[in-house]
Every structure is written in structure tokens, then in C-alpha cells.
Amino acid sequence: MKNHNLNFLELVESSLKEVKECDIHQVKDLLEKDEDFFLIDVREDREWIQGHILGAHHLGKGIIERDIGNLINNKESLIVLYCQGGYRSALAGENIQKMGYKNVLSMSGGLSDWMLNNFPIDKP
């Protein structure tokens, strides 16, 4: 685990009071069952290029609020956000909930947990 600044962790904790979490197994199950949902990687461009979950869309945390409406116009859609560890996805989730998206989850453990479990990733 990275040595995150206490203020950052407090901010994430605050966001997690608003944003529900799911784990990597639940996300893998949604993908395997071909459920209708949006999986969004909120990491930086350079992280996305190094590898991401197959089927994910890329809307980095810096642009998600600006661009999510171009990808998802139904605010009832199930949206699962992930990052590397589950922190940035919680922060992004809180913001898009404020924009009216009602069914937002943050994947706890992020891509790190996904890869630790040897779940498949897509490398361009």
C-alpha cells in the first residue's frame, strides 16, 4: 500500500460514506454474465496504456465529470469505477453522483487486487 497523505485518506473516507463499493469478484461476475453496466477506468492515460480490464472505458479522473455525459446519458445506468487501489475511483464516484448518476459503485482494491488474483487484463 502506498504511503498516502492523511488528508487524502480522510477525503477518500468521506467519499466512501457516499459511494458504495463492490469488490473485484463482483465485477468479474458482472463481466462474465455479460451484465449491462459501464466499467470505467479513472486512472491516468499512462496507467491505462500499461494495462486495463477488458471491456472498460477510459475516463480519467481529471476529465470524467466533463465527458461522462458523452458516454452515459441514462443516469440510472449501473456504473462501476476503478483505479489502481480504489481511492481515486471513490472520489470520482462522489462527483458523478452529485451530477445525478444514481447507481455508482467504486471497485475496492482496484486494478492492484484484480491483478493479484490473476484476473485478465488488456494490454494494447
CATH of the domain at 38: 3.40.250.10
- The answer as to whether 57 is a domain residue is yes
Judge whether 81 lies within some domain: yes
Grid cell of 119 as nine digits = 484476473
Query: For the chain, what is the domain count?
Result: 1
Q: Is residue 59 part of a domain?
A: yes
**Measured on CA atoms in the order 58, 77, 86, 70, is the torsion positive or negative?**
positive
Residue span of the structural domain in which 107 resides: 20-116
Please check whether residue 21 is in contact with residue 107, taking contact to mean a CB–CB distance below 8 angstroms.
yes
Encode pLDDT of 15-58 as tens digits.
Answer: 889 999 999 999 999 999 999 999 999 999 999 999 999 999 99
Q: Is 83 labeled as catalytic in the residue annotation? A: yes
Q: Is the pLDDT of residue 122 over 80?
A: yes
φ, ψ of residue 122 in degrees (nearest 5): -105, 125
User: Which residue in the list 19, 83, 90, 107 is annotated as catalytic?
Assistant: 83
